[in-house]
Amino acid sequence: MKEFAYVRAGSVEEATSAFASHPGSRYLGGGTNLVDLMKLGVETPATLIDVTRLPLDTIDELPDGALRVGATVRNSDLAAHPLVRDRYPALSQALLAGASGQLRNAATTGGNLLQRTRCPYFQDLSKPCNKREPGSGCGARDGVHRDHAVLGHSAHCIATNPSDMAVALAALDGRVELDGPEGARSVEAVDFHRLPGDRPEQDTEIRPGELITGVVLPAATAGLPSAYRKARDRASYSFALASVAVVLRLEGGVVGHAGLAFGALAHRPWRARRAEEALLGAAPTRAAFEHAVELELSEAQPLRDNAYKVPLARNLAVDVLTRLTDTALTGRAS
C-alpha cells in the first residue's frame, strides 16, 4: 500500500502545526469517506492527522443565543441533540436523512462538510475526471449522469455535493469556523462550498492547512419553522436525487423570512436567493411558492438524462414550503 504517517493531534494548534510540517497531509475525522477514497487510490495522503480527539466534541449555547457545534461532534449526536431538534429541525432531519446509522455514528460535523462527490467517474481511477485529475476531462458529461448537477455546473465538472447536512446549514444561515496558519476565521456556510468553474478540484473555500473547528447556528434562525426533505432511490442509505431545506417565518400573514436551499442539484448546496426574494413579503400561497421556486429553477441547465431533477426539486420545495406554512399558521404539523 501507499504508506502514510499517522499523527494524533491533541489540540487545534497541534493539528495545524502538524499539517504545516507534514507535506501532503489530510485531516482525519470519522474517515467514512476519506478512508474509502484512500482504498480507491483517489486520495493518497502522506500523513493523516487524526483530529477526532480534539476538544471540539461539544455543542454549546453562545451568549447571543446561537449554537456552536464542535467539528468532531458525530452526526448521530448532532441529530439527536435536544436543542438542535428543537431549534433547527431542518438540520436534525437532514442528518438523519443521510447515510446509515453506522456511518452517522462515525462521521463528524467537519468531515461531513468535506466529503467528496460520489460521482462514479471521480471514484474510478481508470476514467477521466477533472476534479480528481485536472485537465483529464469529464467522463460524466456524455456518460452516466442521472445523478449529476442541473445548476451551476461548468464544462469542466457536473458533480454534485453529496452532503445533506450542508444543505440545512446553508438554509439556516450557519457559519463554518476555521482555524489555520493565518489564524481563525469564519465563513458563511452557503459560501463554504464552491461552484466548479474551471477549478473543480477545489470543493470549498478552505485554505491550505485550515481546519474546520466548528459550525455556528445563528440565533436569528433558532426556533423558526424549518424542515428538510430528500428524494432518493431507496428509503435509506442512498444519496439525494434532490433535496431541499427550508426555513420560513411568517409575519402578519406574509413571508417575513425565507431560507431555501437545494441539495443534489449543484456542486454546492444551492441557496435559492431569487426564490427567497420573490417570497419575501408575499402571501404564503401555493401559487406564490410555485412562482418563486420556478423563478429559481428557470436557470437550470439539465443534462441529457437528469431533466427530472427540475420538477423534482420544484415539487420538494413547494411541498415543504406548504407544510411549513400550515405549521406556522396552525401551530402544528400538517
Partner 1 sequence: MTGSVGAPAERREGREKVGGTARYAAEFHDPGRAQAWPVSARVARGRVTGVDTADALAVPGVLAVLSHENAPRLAEPDDPTLAVLQNPRVPHRGWFVALVVAETLEAARAGAAAVRVTYDAEAHDVVLTASHPGVYVPEEASGGQPAVREQGDPDGAFGSSAARVDVAYRVPPLHNHPMEPHTSTARWEDGRLLVHTSSQGTGAVRVVLAKLFDLPEERIVVTAEHVGGGFGSKGTPRPDVVLAAMAARETGRPVTVALPRRCLPAVAGHRAPTLHRLRLGADEDGRLTALVHEVTTHTSRIKEYVEHAAVPARVMYAAPHRRTVHRVAALDVPSPSWMRAPGQAPGMYALESAMDELAGELGMDPIELRVRNEPDVEPDSGKPFSSRHLIDCLREGSRRFGWDGRDPRPGTRRDGPLLLGTGVAAATYPVMVSPSTAAARALRDGTFLVRTNATDIGTGARTVLAQVGADALGVPLERVRIEVGSTELPSAPLAGDSSGTASWGWAVHDACDRLARRLAEHTGPLPEEGLDARADTKGVADAESDFARHAFGAHFAEVAVDTVTGEVRVGRLLGVYAAGRILNARTARSQFVGGMTMGLGMALTEGSTMDAAFGDFTESDLASYHVPVHADIAEIEAHWLDEEDSRLNPMGSKGIGEIGIVGTPAAIGNAVHHATGVRLRELPLTPDRVLSGLLDRRA
Which residues are at the interface with partner 1 (CB under 8 A)? 1-2, 39, 41, 100, 118, 120, 124-127, 139, 142-144, 146, 231-239, 241, 306, 308-309, 311-312, 315-316, 319
Closer Cβ to partner 1, 124 or 188, answer by number: 124
Q: Which is nearer to partner 1, 280 or 287 (CB)?
A: 287
Q: Quick one: 69 or 272, whose CB is closer to partner 1?
A: 272
Contact between 227 and 246 (Cβ < 8 Å): yes
Contact 321, 259 (CB under 8 A): no
| Closest approach of partner 1 to the CB of residue 185, in Å | 34
Could you tell me the smallest distance in angstroms from the CB atom of residue 311 to partner 1?
6
Q: Which is nearer to partner 1, 202 or 315 (CB)?
A: 315
Which residues are paired to 257 by β-bridges? 249
Closest CB to partner 1 among 215 and 231? 231
d(CA 210, CA 34): 17
| Shortest distance, position 120 Cβ to partner 1, whole Å | 5
- Least distance between partner 1 and beta carbon 16 (Å): 29
Q: Give the nearer residue to partner 1 in terms of CB position, either 10 or 101.
A: 101
Burial level of 324, CB count in 10 A (0-12/13-18/19+)? buried
| Largest CA-CA distance found in the chain, in angstroms, rounded | 63
For 17, the grid coordinates are: 502545526
Q: Please, which residue, 12 or 318, has the CB nearer to partner 1?
A: 318
Distance of alpha carbon 299 from alpha carbon 150, whole angstroms? 9
CA 99/CA 74 separation, integer angstroms:
13
Looking at the DSSP bridge assignments, the partners of residue 5 are 47
Closest approach, Cβ 145 to partner 1, in A, equals: 10
Nearer residue to partner 1 within complex by CB, 31 or 120: 120
- Judged on CB neighbours under 10 Å (0-12, 13-18, 19+), 207 is exposed
Q: How many CA atoms lie within 13 A of 6 on its CB side?
A: 8
What's the angle, vertex CA 228, arms to CA 222 and CA 229, rounded to 5?
A: 170
Smallest distance from partner 1 to CB 122, Å? 12
Q: Which three cell numbers stand for residue 72?
A: 468532531
Identify which of 11, 51, 46 has the alpha carbon closest to the alpha carbon of residue 31. 51
Q: 3-state DSSP call for residue 184? A: coil
147: left (phi over 0), alpha (psi -120 to 50) or beta: alpha
Set of cell numbers at residue 283: 402571501
Helix (H, G, I), strand (E, B) or coil at 186: strand
Name the minimum Å distance from CB 229 to partner 1. Answer: 8
> Residue 2 Cβ, how far from partner 1 at the closest point, in Å?
6
- State the minimum distance, in angstroms, from the CB of residue 3 to partner 1: 9
Choose between 39 and 207: whose C-beta lies nearer to partner 1. Answer: 39
Q: Checking DSSP bridges between strand 242-251 and strand 226-231, what pairing results, if any?
A: antiparallel
